[in-house]
Structure 1
Amino acid sequence: MSATQPAPTPGPTPGPTPRAVPGPAAGPQRYDAVLIGGGIMSATLAALLTEVQPDWSVVVLEKLSALGQESSAPWHNAGTGHAALCELNYTPARSDGGVEISKAVSVNESWQVSRQFWAHLVESGAIPDPTRFINPVPHMSFVRGDANTAYLRARYDALSDHPLFRGMEWSTERGRIGEWAPLLTDGRDPSERIAATRSAAGTDVDFGELTRALLGLAQQRGVQVHTGRTVKDVKRSGTGWEVSVREAGGGSATLRAPFVFVGSGGGALHLLQRSGIPEGRGFGGFPVSGQFLRCRRPEVAQRHSAKVYGQAEVGAPPMSVPHLDTRIVAGERALLFGPYAGFSPRFLKQGALTDLPFSIRPDNLLPMLAVARDNVPLTTYLVKQVLQSREQRLEALRVFYPDAAEQDWELITAGQRVQVIKKGPRGGVLQFGTELVHAGDGSIAALLGASPGASTAVDVMLNLLRKCFPSRIEAWEPRLREVVPSYGRKLSEDEDLLSATVARTTEALQLAG
Structure 2
Amino acid sequence: MTVTDNPGADDHAAENAAATSPAAVSPTETYDALLIGGGIMSATLGTLLQQLEPDWKIGVFERLSEVAQESSNAWNNAGTGHAALCELNYTPESSDGTIDPSKAIGINEQFQQSRQLWSALIERGVLDEPSTFINATPHMTFVRGEKDVAFLKKRYEVLKEQPLFAGIEYSEDSRVINEWAPLLMQKRRKGEPFAATRVPAGTDVDFGSLTRQLFEHLAASGVDVETNREVRNLKRQKDGTWEVTYRQTVGRTPGKVRARFVFVGAGGWAIKLLQRSGIPEISGYGVFPIGGQWLKTSKPELVAQHKAKVYSQASVGAPPMSVPHLDTRVVDGEASLLFGPFATFSPKFLKNGRMTDIVAQVRPGNILPMLKVAIDNPGLIKYLVSELLKGHGKKVDSLRDFMPSARDEDWELLQAGQRAQVMKKDPKKGGVLQFGTEVVSSADGSIAGLLGASPGASTGASIMLGLLKTCFPDRLAAWEPTLKELIPTYGQTLNSAPDTAHEVLQKTAAALQINV
The TM-score bracket by the shorter chain reads over 0.9
C-alpha contact 1:309 1:324 (8 A) present in aligned 2 = yes
Q: Percent identity?
A: 54
| 1:439 partnered with 2:477 | no
* Structure 1 contact 97–154 (Cα < 8 Å) conserved: no
Matching residue's letter, 2:503: A
Partner of 2:294: helix, strand, or coil?
A: strand
Corresponding residue of 2:22 = none
Provide the TM-score with structure 2 as the length reference.
0.94
Q: Which residue of 2 aligns with 1:318?
A: 320
The separation in 1 between residues aligned to 2:145 and 2:172, in whole angstroms, is 11
Contact 1:273 1:280 in 2 (8 A): yes
Aligned pairs (5 A) from 1:151-300:
151-238=151-238, 239-249=240-250, 250-300=252-302
Of residues 352, 370, 381, the one that matches 2:383 is: 381
User: Which residue pairs with 2:91 in the alignment?
Assistant: 91
Q: Quote the RMSD (CA, aligned, Å).
A: 1.4
- Whether contact under 8 Å (1:312, 1:321) holds in the other structure is yes
Match of 1:391 in 2: 393
Offset, 1:351: 0.3
In 1: Cα distance, 2:231 partner to 2:287 partner:
19
Deviation, structure 1 residue 389: 2.0
For the residues of structure 2 that align with 1:324 and 1:27, how far apart are their CA atoms? Answer: 49
Matched ranges for 1:62-73 at <5 A = 62-73=62-73
**What is the CA-CA distance between 1:414 and the residue it aligns to?**
0.2
Question: Which range moves more in the overlay, 248-257 or 276-285?
Answer: 248-257
CA change 1:7–1:291 in 2 (3 A) is farther
**Are the equivalent residues in 2 in contact too, given 1:287–1:343 (CA < 8 A)?**
yes
* Aligned pair partner of 2:464 in 461, 465, 474: 461
Gap change, CA 1:26 and 1:373, over 3 Å in 2: closer
In the superposition, relative to structure 1, how do residues 379 and 35 fare at CA in structure 2: closer, same or farther (>3 Å)?
same
Q: What CA deviation, in whole Å up to 9, does each residue of 1:317-368 have, x standing for no partner?
A: 0100000000000111000000101111000000000000000111000000
- 1:242/1:254 contact within 8 Å kept: yes
Residue 431 of structure 1 and its aligned partner are, at CA, apart by: 0.2
**Structure 1 68/26 Cα, relative in aligned 2: closer, same or farther at 3 Å?**
farther
Deviating beyond 2 angstroms after TM superposition, the runs of 4 or more aligned structure 1 residues are 25-28
Match for residue 481 of structure 2 among 474, 478, 501: 478
Contact 2:128 2:213 in 1 (8 A): no
Report deviation, 1:28: 4.9
Contact 2:292 2:415 in 1 (8 A): yes
- Secondary structure, in 3 states, of the residue corresponding to 2:373? helix
- Superimposed CA distance per residue, residues 27-73 of structure 1 (whole angstroms, 9 cap, x where no aligned partner): 95111011000000000001000111111000000010011000000
Unaligned runs of 5+ residues in structure 2 are: 4-24
Measure the CA separation in 2 of the matches of 1:140 and 1:255: 48
- Partner of residue 491, structure 1: 494
| Structure 2 partner of 1:17 | none
- Structure 1 position 437, deviation (Å): 0.4
Once the two structures are TM-superposed, the CA of residue 393 in structure 1 deviates from its matched residue by 0.7
Structure 1: runs of 5 or more not aligned = 1-5, 9-24
Match for residue 455 of structure 2 among 452, 457, 467: 452
Identify the range of structure 1 (126-135 vs 32-41) with the bigger mean alpha-carbon deviation: 126-135
Question: Aligned residue for 2:356?
Answer: 354
Counterpart amino acid of 2:504?
Answer: T
One-letter identity of the residue aligned with 1:321: V
Tell me how far apart the structure 1 counterparts of residues 337 and 264 of structure 2 sit (CA, whole Å): 33
Q: 1:503 aligns with which of 502, 506, 510?
A: 506
Work out whether residues 27 and 258 of structure 2, in 8 Å CA contact, stay in contact via their aligned partners in 1.
no
Which residue number corresponds to residue 20 of structure 1? none
Spell out, residue by residue over 1:201-252, the C-alpha distance to the aligned partner (whole angstroms, 9 max, x if none).
1000000000001111111221110110000011111211111010123212
For 2:43, the equivalent position in structure 1 comes to 43
Confirm or deny: 8 A CA contact 2:81 2:205 kept in the other structure.
yes
Deviation at 1:406, TM superposition (A): 1.1
The answer to which of 91-100 and 33-42 deviates more is 91-100
Partner Cα distance (1:131, 1:363) in 2: 47
Evaluate the alpha carbon distance shift between residue 275 and residue 7 of structure 1 in structure 2; reply closer, same or farther with a 3 A threshold: closer
AA at the equivalent of 2:466: N
Distance 1:313 1:93 in 2: 16
User: By how many angstroms is 1:130 displaced?
Assistant: 1.1
User: How far, CA to CA, are the matches of 1:7 and 1:505 in structure 2?
Assistant: 35
CA–CA separation in structure 1 for the residues paired with 2:278 and 2:36: 17
Q: For 1:98, what is the secondary structure of its paired residue?
A: coil
Deviation for aligned residue 1:115:
0.2
Secondary structure of the equivalent of 1:391?
A: helix
| SS of residue paired to 2:292 | strand
Residues 145-181 of structure 1 show CA distances to partners (whole Å, capped at 9, x for unaligned) of 1110000001001101101101000000000000000
